[in-house]
Amino acid sequence: MDDLMNLELLSLVSKVTSELQNHVGISDKTLAEFLISQRIESDTPDVFRKKLDGLGADFLPVWWTV
């Protein structure tokens, strides 16, 4: 089961990295992993948005619905 979870996480990191490149022009695996961890720790998209706003992140509203 852990192998499947790791594979899914790698796939998600790859997708987020790709979306960062497409929308922000940054292709950074570490940033993608950070965003994923912040979203996992957030109960709602609004909490996620507030966390990133508090860090000074300037992302398009489409990111808040993830």
Q: Which domain holds residue 49?
A: 2-65
Domain count, the chain: 1
At 29 the pLDDT is 97
At 57 the pLDDT is 81
Name residue 40's amino acid.
I
* Per-residue b or e along 15-42, where b marks 16 or more CB atoms closer than 10 Å to that residue's CB: ebbeebeeeeeeeeeeebeebbeebeee
Mean pLDDT by 10 residues, the chain (66 residues): 89 95 91 94 91 82 59
| Alpha carbon 6 to chain centroid, angstroms | 16
At 66 the pLDDT is 56
